[in-house]
Amino acid sequence: MRDDLFAVPIRKYHIDNNDIFLEETKKAYSKSKFEVPSPFIIGLDQIPPDCSQKYGELLEEFMTDLGVYDTHNAVITSFILKVLEQGESVDRMDTLPSHYTLVHYVDCGSEDTSDTFHHPARMMLNAFRPAAVDEWQDAAGLYINKGDVIIHPSFMEHSSPTKKGSGQRVTLTLTIVLQQRNEQGRNTDIKEPAA
């Protein structure tokens, strides 16, 4: 059996020292929780150097896994903080026009459920799906723990399931663009200043 013909890879990593992320996201949430409608989703202008260093190390590992570490740079284009309380959820969305989406599960509360990932050709699959055949799934999730990081292509739609159980579900989502480097190691789409 082949299951790699139309594969959409979802990679899973882990950040061991998650406490600094938890502390920083709690600060951002406390500062803006009464200004943002529920569910709490807000873009962050910056993150502390300790956090950005951890993401840099993780993206180096990701680029190595892709096989493009020597030829491309990974550029983070946005940081999105999402905090869900009990009973809240987020509908399906993608993060285009970025290339990849990184979701860091900073805190999971009392349940360990990832976002739900939807098959990119869902509508076509549903049109031809035989009744009651389990292998024709159009959406699935992963088992996750606090500190886990999932990276997936940005065209893949994902949603956050309804938060059950106690505690908050806190995620940091980063959008990533890959930029090819030229032979001097610079990005090819950055123009040099005129002399």
**pTM > 0.85:** no
Q: Provide the 3-class DSSP secondary structure of residue 193.
A: coil
Overall domain count for the chain: 1
CA distance 188 to 150: 28
Predicted confidence at residue 165, as pLDDT, reads: 73
Q: What is the layout of strands, in order, in the sheet containing 11-14?
A: 11-14, 148-153, 100-107, 169-180, 72-84, 40-44
Residue 4 in any domain: the answer is no
pLDDT score for 1: 45
Cβ-count burial 19-58 (b if 16+ within 10 Å, e if not): eebeebbeebbeeeeeeeeebbbbeeeebeeebeebbeeb
Please tell me the predicted confidence (pLDDT) of residue 144: 84
Torsion-angle region of residue 95: left (phi > 0), alpha (psi -120 to 50) or beta? Answer: alpha
Domain assignment of residue 16, given as a range: 11-127+137-180
First to last CA, the chain: 59
Residue 149 maps to a domain: yes
Inside any domain, residue 65: yes
Q: What is the pLDDT of residue 194?
A: 54
3-state secondary structure at position 120? coil
Residue 152, beta-bridge partner list: 101
Determine the pLDDT at residue 109: 73
Per DSSP, 165 falls in state S
Kindly report the CA angle at 135 between 3 and 146, in degrees rounded to 5?
A: 80
- pLDDT, position 176: 96
Q: Would 1 be classed as within a structural domain? A: no
Cα(80)–Cα(82) distance, integer angstroms: 6
- Structural Rg of the chain based on CA atoms: 18
Residue at 162 is within a domain: yes
pLDDT tens for the chain, residues 1 to 195: 455 555 668 899 999 989 999 999 999 999 999 999 889 999 999 888 889 999 999 999 999 999 999 999 999 999 999 998 888 878 888 888 999 999 999 998 766 677 888 777 666 666 666 666 666 666 777 788 899 999 999 988 888 877 777 788 899 999 999 999 876 666 655 555 454
Residue 156 is predicted with a pLDDT of 85
CATH of the domain at 38: 2.60.120.620
Residue 160 lies in a domain: yes
Residue 71 lies in a domain: yes
Residue 191 lies inside a defined structural domain of this protein: no
